[in-house]
Amino acid sequence: MRILIVDDEVIIRTGLCTVIDWKELGLELLPAASSAEEALERIPEEKPHIVLTDIRMSGMDGIELAREVKAMLPDTEIVILTGYDDFSYAQQALREGVTDYLLKTSRPEEIIKAALKAKQNIMDKWESIKQDNLQQAALRNQLLERVLGRGLNDDREAQGQLQVWFSKNGVDVHPETGESAAMQVLLISVSGWGETPVLELLQGAAENILFELLPCVTLMKKDHLLLVVRHEVGMTDQSGLTKALKRVTETLKCSAFAALGTVTQDYEGLRESYRAAKEVFAYQGLLGAQGLFTVEDIRERSGGRTVCTEKEEAELTAILMSGNATELRHWVNQKVRALLEDAAATPLTVQGYLQSMIIAGHRWLERASSSQEGTVPLSILPTYEGEGRPEDEVFKVLSAVMTRFHQGLDQNRYAYIHKSIAYIRDNLHQPISLQQVAGFVHVNPNHFSEVFKRETGCTYIEFVTQERMKRAVEILQGTQTKVSDIARRVGYEDIKYFTQQFKKYTGRTPSEFRQGNKTE
C-alpha cells in the first residue's frame, strides 16, 4: 500500500519521511511532493492509496488537492496536516472526504494512528469489494450451472442476468457488429504440474490465459475448466481454439485435453452443447492425453471388451497366489494399456472391463480364503472409485486382495495347506496330482498327504473330486454351457466318468440337475 506526503516546507516534509518508519507500518513511502501541483501530476501514474498533505501551501491548498484527488481516485484516503487549529478548516476538509485532520504539532504516534486508520479503511473497502465479487461470481456460477443443467425454463429475470454477463464478455453478441452470435461449450483438463493443490494453481493460470485470449465466460470445476465460448470462424472455431490451447500448453509447460460441444444460437441450446462436450470429455485417456476433440472423433467407436477371458483370469489368480506385487503391477499396466489403445473402446466398456478385473480378484479371494478362519469381508477392502489413473486404481484394489490372502496365511500354522487349497481351486480344469500340489507348497508329499487329511477331514483325492463337483454345480446353475464343456472345465475328458461322479455327488445326472433347477 502506497503513501504520498505533500508539503511545501522542506523541514516538515523531511521530518515526516524520516521520523516515522513507514515500511514497518506496511506502507511504501513514495518520494515526497513539494506542492499540490506536483502531487497532481504524479498521482495518475503513482496512484497512492493514502495522501498525507499540508492544508496551507503556496498555490493550490490541501483542501483543493483533496477535492481533485477524490475526483481522480475516489477510494484514496486523505489525511490533512495543518499548523492552524481552525475548526472551519477541519469542517471544510471533512466535507471533501478527508479521513483525518491533525495539527502539525501532533506527536508521531498520533500521525501513525491516523495513517493506520486510513490503511484500515482501505483494507475494509478491499475486503468488501472482494466479498461482493465472490458473491457475484457465485451467483453467476449458479446461473451457468442452471442453464447447462436444467435450463432457465422461461425465467425472464435469470435470462436477463445471463444476457448481461454473456454480453459483457462478448459471448452471445459480437462486439463489433452488435449481432447475436453462436456459442458452444468447451471442457478442458490440464495436467503436468503434479497433483492437488498444485493442480488448482495450474487450472487457475490456464483459466486466466484463456479468458484473455477468447470471448468467453469460465467456470472452474474440481478437475477441469468449463468455458462457454462465442463461436466465430477463424477465431473460436476448432482451429482457433486449438491455437489458444497451444498457447496455454506452451506458456504453462503442461498438457491440455479439451472436448468441444455443439454450436448453438440460444441459451437453451447450451444444454445440448454441454451434453455433447461431456460425452467427448469422458473419452479422456482413450483419445489421448492432449488435443481438442469433438463428437466426430468418437462417432465410430462401437465398444471394446467388457469381461476378462478365462486365460486372463487364470493369469491373474496365479499372480495373486504368488504374492509378487511387482508382477501384479506389470500385469495390470499391460492389460489397461491394451484396453485404452483399443480403437473401438468406449468409457462404458472400459469401466466394464476394469470392474471385471476387480471381480475376478474378489472371486479368487473368496475361493482361496474359504478354508481360512476369520476371513475379512470383501466390503472392507478398497473399492474401485474410477477417479484416478485406471491402472493405479485397479492395482490398489488387487494389491489389497493379494495382501489380505497372504496375511491370512501368515497367521495360520499350516499355511501351506490353505495355499494348496487355493491352488487346487485355481487348477480344477487340468490334472493336478498330490505330488504336483505338494511341490507347489514345497512340502514332502507323504507329510503333505497326512496333514492335508487332518486339516480338511478328507483325503486329497476326495477333496479334489468334491471341489470339481462344486464347480460343476456352479456352472450348471449359472450358465447354459454344454455338459461336455463343463466336464472339461472341471478336469474330466471322459464325460461318462464325469456324469457318474456328478450323480454320486448330487444324486442326479448333470442334465437332470439342470432340468430340476428350471422347474424349481
Q: How far is CA 358 from the centre of its chain?
A: 23
Same domain membership, residue 283 and residue 229:
yes
Same domain membership, residue 290 and residue 318:
no
Same domain membership, residue 345 and residue 388:
yes
Q: Residue 488: inside a domain, yes or no?
A: yes
Assign residue 74 the CATH number of its domain: 3.40.50.2300
Assign residue 490 the CATH number of its domain: 1.10.10.60
Q: Residue 165: inside a domain, yes or no?
A: no
Listed residue (110, 60, 62) closest to 86, CA to CA: 62
| The pLDDT of residue 332 | 94
Which of 392, 412, 432 is the last residue in one of the domains?
412
Measured CA to CA in angstroms, residue 16 lies from 50, 58, 109, 116, 243 at distances of 14, 19, 12, 15, 54
| The pLDDT of residue 374 | 46
Question: pLDDT digits over 441-480, tens only?
Answer: 888 888 889 888 888 888 999 999 998 998 899 898 888 8
Question: Domain tally for the chain?
Answer: 4
Please say whether the beta carbons of 170 and 215 come within 8 A. Answer: yes
| The pLDDT of residue 272 | 93
Same domain membership, residue 440 and residue 395:
no
Listed residue (15, 47, 13, 18) closest to 33, CA to CA: 13
Same domain membership, residue 6 and residue 89:
yes
Same domain membership, residue 421 and residue 407:
no
| The pLDDT of residue 520 | 54
Q: In whole angstroms, what is the distance from residue 285 CA to residue 282 CA? A: 8
| The pLDDT of residue 285 | 85
DSSP state of 79: E
Quickly tell me which residue has 499396466 as its cell: 333
Same domain membership, residue 20 and residue 114:
yes
| The pLDDT of residue 226 | 93
Which of 412, 433, 462 is the last residue in one of the domains?
412
Q: Residue 193: inside a domain, yes or no?
A: yes
Same domain membership, residue 277 and residue 376:
no
Mean pLDDT estimate for the chain: 85
Q: Residue 146: inside a domain, yes or no?
A: no
Give counts: helices (H), strands (E), the chain: 20, 10
Model-level pTM? 0.61
Q: Residue 228: inside a domain, yes or no?
A: yes
Q: In whole angstroms, what is the distance from residue 356 CA to residue 143 CA? A: 40
Q: Residue 158: inside a domain, yes or no?
A: no
Which of 77, 104, 124 is the last residue in one of the domains?
124
By residue range, what is the domain housing residue 200?
179-297
Same domain membership, residue 482 and residue 423:
yes
Phi, psi (degrees; rounded to nearest 5) at 51: -120, 120
Q: What is the pLDDT along the chain (520 residues), one digit of tens a residue?
A: 999 999 988 998 899 899 899 999 999 999 999 999 999 999 999 999 999 998 888 888 888 898 899 889 988 999 988 776 665 666 676 776 788 888 878 888 888 998 999 999 999 888 887 776 667 777 788 888 888 887 777 778 878 888 888 888 888 877 667 678 899 999 999 988 866 567 788 888 999 999 999 999 898 888 899 999 999 887 788 899 999 999 999 999 999 999 999 999 888 889 999 999 999 999 998 998 889 999 999 998 988 889 988 889 889 988 988 888 999 999 999 999 998 889 899 999 999 999 999 999 988 888 777 655 544 454 555 666 666 788 988 999 999 988 887 776 656 667 788 888 888 888 888 899 999 989 888 888 888 898 888 888 889 999 999 989 988 998 988 888 899 999 999 999 999 999 999 999 899 999 888 887 665 5
Measured CA to CA in angstroms, residue 87 lies from 51, 102, 103 at distances of 21, 11, 11
Helix (H) or strand (E) holding 445: helix 445-456
Q: Residue 114: inside a domain, yes or no?
A: yes
Same domain membership, residue 102 and residue 119:
yes
Q: In whole angstroms, what is the distance from residue 470 CA to residue 22 CA? A: 87
Assign residue 286 the CATH number of its domain: 3.30.70.270
Q: Residue 309: inside a domain, yes or no?
A: yes
Same domain membership, residue 109 and residue 41:
yes
Same domain membership, residue 399 and residue 503:
no
